[in-house]
Copies of this chain bind each other. A is one copy, B any other.
Amino acid sequence: MRRSRSEAAQTRDRIVSTASQMFLDKGLAAVGMRDLMAAADLTQGGFYRHFQSKDQLIAEASSAAFDRLFAMFESETADKSPAQAVERIITLYLGQSQYEGNTYLCPLAMLGAELTHCDQQLREVATTGHQRLVRLIADRLTHLPRPKRMVTASAIVSTMVGAVTLANIAPDPAKAKSILGDAKKLLRSLLTQ
């Protein structure tokens, strides 16, 4: 049942995007190859025509998740002033796991400590994603003197990642919302001072 080149490429993309969602939702370890391939309407064995290993897929899926996230940030802030753009990015980031089925999730917040114990390839993806996120924000902190921008952006990212992580752990949506709201209040004070 060989497929045409374009069908095969589509299949590969489908595996990556399915994996991307599942890994971010459930964590890396909790997603098995059978579940994953079934979710992409395939069977286990076919996987290894496209990828060398689960670890390689994890790295690609995480990289794709970052790309999707940044593309969304770009399009959501295209017509905004720097200050408005930062505000919007913060709102979107903090709200990422508040409505179910959201496909714009950040590996840093959703995988967290799993990124500490992983192979080098994924770690590089995570590090690059982190740097991109810091820079995205730093570039828009135009009300601050240049040398302060990276420092402040780095702290903003830490706050956002921590808040989303803790909101995900929170047992009820109300508690989650208050954690995110508290973080947002702090971050807003940085933008208006």
**Which residues of A approach B to under 8 Å, CB–CB?**
26-27, 29-30, 108-117, 123-124, 126-127, 130, 150-152, 154-163, 165-166, 168-171, 175, 178-179, 182-183, 185-186, 190
* Number of copies of this chain that the complex holds: 2
18 A-B residue pairs with CB within 8 Å: A29-B29, A108-B169, A111-B112, A111-B113, A112-B113, A113-B113, A113-B114, A115-B169, A116-B168, A123-B171, A127-B169, A150-B182, A154-B182, A155-B183, A156-B186, A161-B162, A161-B166, A165-B165
B162–A116 touching, CB < 8 Å: no
Q: Tell me the minimal C-beta distance from A21 to chain B in angstroms.
A: 15
In Å, the complex CA distance between A144 and B15 comes to: 51
A171 touches which of B124, B171, B175 (Cβ 8 Å): B124
In Å, the complex CA distance between A52 and B21 comes to: 34
B114–A186 touching, CB < 8 Å: no
**Chain B residues closer than 8 Å to A110, beta-carbon distance:** 113
A163 touches which of B116, B127, B158, B171 (Cβ 8 Å): B158
In Å, the complex CA distance between A152 and B159 comes to: 12
In Å, the complex CA distance between A160 and B26 comes to: 24
**Chain B residues closer than 8 Å to A152, beta-carbon distance:** 182, 186
**Chain B residues closer than 8 Å to A154, beta-carbon distance:** 178-179, 182-183
In Å, the complex CA distance between A128 and B114 comes to: 22
Q: Tell me the minimal C-beta distance from A191 to chain B in angstroms.
A: 12
A183–B168 touching, CB < 8 Å: no
Task: Check A182/B151 contact, CB under 8 A, given A130-B166, A157-B162, A163-B158.
Answer: yes
In Å, the complex CA distance between A130 and B150 comes to: 28
A161–B165 touching, CB < 8 Å: yes
